Amino acid sequence: MSTQQRPKVDNSKMITRLLVTVVAMFAFGFALVPLYEKFCEITGFNGRTSNTAAAVSEGSLIDTSRLVTVEFHTRVNRGLPWQFESEVRRMQVHPGETKTVNFTAINRTGRNMTGQALPSVAPGEAAPYLLKTECFCFQNQPLAAGDTAVMPMQFYLDPDIPNHIRTLTLSYMMYDMTEAAAQGRVVVDTSE
């Protein structure tokens, strides 16, 4: 080689750092899953609403000066031959006032099944203000062949709900949980 030597540089430190970054970014991708869930729960981003019971409304805080329209929307997931409807399509409530709505589910098949309703609120901004004190959606809904279940849902709106929200939609999608329930998998955490 010639007289002008290239200074020997140790590459291993740099390689280690870069590899650690790669592993960290892979882990970060997975860390985004719980982060996203928490973020949605806190902000109501993406219409996520809590699936656990809230404290009962203190009746004294009813804001009678305004009315908010709450719409109910029900759907069954593909392949679930159930009928699933709410008894009313919409109602007007004062923030703070507790209301109960009955939902009806009919298992139209000839076998015992288990369903699970998952809620979503639109607009997402309203999600943290919709508080459920009692709901069928907190548990699985086992339904024998051909049976009908009338399932109550009790809720109130947090009086802090922003003034510009005049209408909100609570949508339930009923999923087929028969297999998961048979395997003893808990899908909705009701421990809180």
**Residues 6 or more apart from 91 whose CB is under 8 A from it?**
69, 70, 99, 101
C-beta separation of 51 from 116 below 8 A = no
Interface with other proteins, residue 146, by CB under 8 A: no
Pick the closer one to other proteins by CB: 23 or 55: 23
Interface with other proteins, residue 191, by CB under 8 A: no
Q: Considering CB under 8 A, how many residues would be counted as binding other proteins?
A: 43
Q: What are phi and psi of 112, to 5 degrees?
A: -75, 135
Interface with other proteins, residue 29, by CB under 8 A: yes
Interface with other proteins, residue 4, by CB under 8 A: yes
**CA gap 117, 90 in Å, rounded:** 19
**Residues in 65-84 that interact with other proteins by CB under 8 A:** 77
Pick the closer one to other proteins by CB: 100 or 190: 190
How would you class 179 by CB atoms within 10 Å of its CB: exposed for 0-12, middle for 13-18, buried for 19 or more?
Answer: exposed
Pick the closer one to other proteins by CB: 60 or 183: 183
Pick the closer one to other proteins by CB: 31 or 56: 31
Residues composing the chain: 192
- Contacting other proteins (CB under 8 A), which of 61, 81, 187, 190? 187
Query: Which DSSP helix (H) or strand (E) runs through 121?
Result: strand 113-122
DSSP for 18-82 reads HHHHHHHHHHHHHHHHHHHHHHHHHH-GGG----SPPPPP-GGG--TT--EEEEEEEEE-TT--E
Pick the closer one to other proteins by CB: 75 or 89: 75
Pick the closer one to other proteins by CB: 25 or 55: 25
> Cβ of residue 180: shortest distance to other proteins, in angstroms?
7
Q: Compute how many other C-beta atoms are within 10 angstroms of the C-beta atom of residue 140.
A: 20
Interface with other proteins, residue 18, by CB under 8 A: yes
**CA gap 174, 117 in Å, rounded:** 4
**Interface positions with other proteins (CB under 8 A):** 1-2, 4, 6, 9, 11, 14-15, 18-19, 21-23, 25-26, 28-30, 32-33, 36-37, 40, 43, 45-48, 77, 116, 118, 122-125, 173, 175-177, 180, 187-189
